[in-house]
């Protein structure tokens, strides 16, 4: 029976196929083989970018680039089909009138429509082919390494297909988008979309509700206070355990959660990508440890991961309530406490799983502060080696 919320649209080309590129992953969930067979030719496109909750498909609040086809074993995500939605013009105008709010810095000078091309090098509401391929390659690498080492799939996307839409579909969308952009944003979109616009199909064990969306998810739920309402929606401890365990396994498998170029444009540990069931999505930020050679960049990359984990946990546990920080603001007492608890736990998990790259262990292992900090801070600041010793 046809889904009343979607209509199939023909595909231009299959760019990546799990059956050919990563058959071991498909063998881990063989029931997906029949599900993806028709998607190689035509993909369901949701009629609306607005939230909906149907029998066969669902789009939660603020999921502007993905909706989900329901299955007994989870969902199949369709990411990047919104350029053909019936209300795409309405949402483009909405993005054009909305300015992004940065905590502590106020509103951006750019509308959200301009923000994505100018600040994130992305095409609003669309998925460029380059980004689609980054997503599936990174997720497949993580899943294959996790399956080989631990014998199970990780709670991250299981990539199935990366597709390119026909050129006529892309051209029609860019004709709608371009007049709404400034000249610089329009040129950025043209450059980023030069290889085409595409779609990613992946499996996840549940509808991937994100930490960033909790204010809307918890609004109106019964319970006195944030954590009481949160506990009625998801397992709080299970989510924290899941993120810590996933990060530990990524580090042990030789991955860092994000590269330097992913900072600010899509780190998988950020609250917009951390799933409230303890999983992570949008794995395009992942990079291999051995590709980061420079000490300063390595330390920055690892510190960003730890900071993002702490910020995600803070938002998850406290929501938009003010920090419990008294007069201390940099860092807040909340962040001091979070890192005090998270880092020893993460270090123990990494050690328990067999260890990781020596540079990761050097950061995570407990060491006396006085001899360690001068050299570490010098590397982080790119200053060489700081002189140590007291006043004479």
**Pairwise CA distance, residues 233 & 235, whole Å:** 7
Q: What would the pLDDT profile of 336-379 be if each residue is shown by its tens digit?
A: 889 999 999 999 999 999 999 999 999 999 889 888 888 888 88
Per-residue pLDDT at 388: 39
H or E element, residue 378: helix 369-381
Domain borders along the chain are 6-204, 211-381
Rounded CA separation 247/58 (Å): 28
Q: For 256-303, how does the pLDDT look when each residue is reduced to its tens digit (9 = 90+)?
A: 998 777 766 778 999 999 999 999 999 998 999 999 988 888 998 999
Q: Give which of 180, 165, 182, 178 is closest to 128, Cα–Cα.
A: 165
What's the burial of 109, exposed, middle or buried (CB within 10 Å: 0-12/13-18/19+)? exposed
Q: How far is CA 291 from CA 127, 132, 247, 257, 303, in A?
A: 26, 21, 18, 13, 17
pLDDT tens string 190-249: 999 999 999 999 999 999 999 999 999 999 888 888 989 999 999 999 999 999 999 999
d(CA 275, CA 278): 6
Q: Where are the beta strands (DSSP E) in the chain?
A: 6-10, 13-17, 42-46, 52-53, 57-59, 66-71, 74-79, 99-102, 106-111, 158-164, 198-204, 255-256, 287-288
Q: Residue 392's pLDDT band (boundaries 50, 70, 90)?
A: very low
- What confidence tens digit (pLDDT) does each residue in 145-199 have? 999 999 999 999 999 999 999 999 999 999 999 999 999 999 999 999 999 999 9
Q: What is the pTM of this model?
A: 0.90
Task: Please tell me the distance from the alpha carbon of residue 62 to that of residue 56, in angstroms, as a whole number.
Answer: 19
Q: What is the DSSP string of 98-120?
A: -EEEETTTEEEEEEHHHHHHHHH
């Amino acid at each position: 029976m046809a889904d009343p919320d979607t209509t199939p649209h023909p595909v231009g080309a299959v760019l990546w196929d799990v059956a050919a590129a990563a058959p071991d992953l498909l063998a881990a969930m063989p029931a997906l083989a029949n599900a993806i067979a028709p998607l190689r030719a035509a993909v369901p496109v949701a009629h609306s970018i607005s939230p909906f909750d149907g029998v066969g498909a669902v789009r939660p609040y603020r999921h502007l680039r993905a909706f989900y086809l329901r299955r007994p074993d989870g969902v199949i995500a369709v990411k990047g089909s919104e350029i053909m939605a019936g209300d795409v013009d309405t949402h483009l105008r909405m993005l054009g009138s909305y300015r992004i709010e940065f905590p502590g810095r106020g509103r951006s000078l750019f509308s959200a429509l301009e923000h994505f091309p100018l600040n994130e090098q992305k095409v609003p509401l669309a998925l460029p082919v380059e980004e689609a391929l980054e997503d599936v390659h990174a997720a497949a690498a993580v899943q294959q390494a996790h399956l080989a080492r631990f014998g199970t799939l990780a709670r991250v996307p299981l990539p199935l297909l990366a597709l390119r839409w026909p050129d006529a579909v892309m051209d029609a969308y860019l004709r709608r988008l371009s007049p709404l952009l400034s000249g610089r944003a329009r040129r950025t979109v043209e450059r980023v979309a030069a290889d085409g616009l595409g779609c990613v199909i992946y499996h996840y064990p549940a509808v991937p509700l994100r930490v960033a969306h909790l204010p809307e998810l918890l609004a109106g739920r019964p319970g006195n206070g944030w954590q009481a309402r949160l506990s009625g929606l998801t397992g709080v401890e299970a989510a924290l355990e899941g993120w810590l365990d996933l990060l530990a396994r990524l580090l042990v498998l030789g991955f860092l959660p994000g590269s330097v170029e992913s900072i600010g444009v899509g780190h998988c540990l950020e609250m917009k990508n951390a799933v409230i069931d303890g999983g992570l999505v949008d794995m395009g930020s992942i990079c291999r440890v051995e590709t980061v050679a420079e000490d300063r960049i390595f330390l920055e990359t690892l510190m960003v991961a730890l900071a993002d984990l702490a910020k995600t946990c803070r938002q998850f546990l406290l929501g938009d309530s003010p920090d419990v920080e008294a007069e201390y603001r940099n860092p807040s007492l909340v962040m001091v406490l979070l890192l005090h608890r998270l880092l020893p736990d993460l270090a123990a998990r990494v050690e328990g799983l067999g260890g990781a790259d020596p540079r990761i262990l050097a950061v995570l292992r407990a060491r006396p502060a006085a001899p360690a900090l001068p050299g570490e801070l010098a590397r982080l600041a790119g200053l060489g080696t700081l002189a140590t010793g007291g006043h004479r």
